[in-house]
Structure 1
Amino acid sequence: MPTLIDDYESGDPQRVLHAVWQTIGCRDPELLDPLVAALPRLRARTADVELGGMIYSNSTHREHAFQVIENHRDGLCWCAAYPDSLTYDPRKEQNRGHAEIRSTSTPGWEMTYECVCAVCGQVFDVEQGDHHVTWWRWVPRGVKRRRRRGSSNVGGGA
């Protein structure tokens, strides 16, 4: 069975994107640790892979996946990735046990959420918007907290 490193190094845009999305949603240190060691090589091997994307460049998602790996390396909580991407749907993050929605504005295309990280307790103000696709902007309140080493939380997927 191919590993995420194999997928990143394949040169196949679909396999690279599979690895990107698996990385973005990953909460398992055993899967992320090998990616930390391989990160410089993964950056080099994927730099010229055309990943497409019509509205939002998939290369942006690849860079976000690399940021997730760096955050893991640096001991940051999983929630440190939220402000760096517009793809984290608060409802999905809550369903996965990664965050809790404390309150929302009136439901609609444009709404706001107050969310808290299930691991470190960081509170976020989340703005939902729509321009061809629905997006979410996570803005942390106060200072980021480090997660304790070995704290993995459950689930995966962004």
Structure 2
Amino acid sequence: MTTLLDDFLSGDRSRVIHALWQTIGSRDPGELDPLVAALPRIRRQTTALDLGGMIYSNNAHLEHAFTKIEQYRDGKCWCAAYPGILTNDPRKEEAAGHIVIRSTSEPGWSMTYDCECTVCGQEFDVEQGDHHFTWWNWVPRGRKRRRGEV
């Protein structure tokens, strides 16, 4: 069985891309814990790798995966990874139980969402747009709850 760490260190473009997307989408400590200690090694191993990308650089997605690992290491909420990447669809995040959509603008390709993290209460303004693909820009706002606060 190969792990995400194996994929990151493989030097194989498709395996690294698979690992970065799995990392970005993961909330599984069993997947992320091994990556925390290995992050400097993963960075070195992937630094010269051209991951391509037609509309948006996959190397930028790789950097976002590294940011997610660092945020996880630092004890930040899962929602801290939303800003900086344009692929988190609020409807899918709500269906997974990660956020609550409190309100939306009129339906259309250019919508806005008022969202709240179900873990820490962080509020987000999310703008949806479309240019070759649908994207979502997450902007944190408001006050979030501290750990243990209701």
Is TM > 0.5 for Structure 1 vs Structure 2? yes
SS of 1:84's partner is coil
TM-score (norm 1): 0.89
- 1:71 is displaced (CA, Å) by 0.3
Equivalent in the alignment of 1:54: 54
CA distance in 1, matches of 2:91, 2:98: 10
TM-score (norm 2): 0.94
- 1:144 is displaced (CA, Å) by 5.5
- Runs of 4+, deviation exceeding 6 Å: none
SS of 2:82's partner is helix
Tell me the amino acid that sits aligned with residue 116 of structure 2: V
* Cα 1:19/1:147, change in 2 over 3 Å: farther
Cα deviation per residue 1:77-106 (whole Å; 9 max; x = unaligned)? 000011121111101111111111111111
* Cα 1:97/1:51, change in 2 over 3 Å: same
Equivalent in the alignment of 2:28: 28
* Cα 1:102/1:146, change in 2 over 3 Å: same
CA distance in 1, matches of 2:147, 2:3: 26
CA distance in 1, matches of 2:66, 2:92: 21
Equivalent in the alignment of 1:121: 121
Equivalent in the alignment of 2:43: 43
Identity of aligned residues (%): 70
Tell me the amino acid that sits aligned with residue 20 of structure 2: V
* Cα 1:69/1:108, change in 2 over 3 Å: same
- Report if the CA contact (8 A) 2:123-2:143 is conserved: no
- 1:143 is displaced (CA, Å) by 4.7
Matched ranges for 1:48-127 at <5 A: 48-127=48-127
SS of 1:53's partner is coil
Moved more, 138-147 or 82-91: 138-147
* Cα 1:23/1:121, change in 2 over 3 Å: same
* Cα 1:84/1:146, change in 2 over 3 Å: farther
**Relative contact order (alpha carbons < 8 A, sep ≥ 6): 1 or 2 greater?**
1
- 1:114 is displaced (CA, Å) by 0.5
Q: Does 1:17 align with 2:17?
A: yes
- Give the CA RMSD over aligned residues: 1.4
- 1:142 is displaced (CA, Å) by 2.6
Tell me the amino acid that sits aligned with residue 101 of structure 1: I
CA distance in 2, matches of 1:147, 1:35: 24
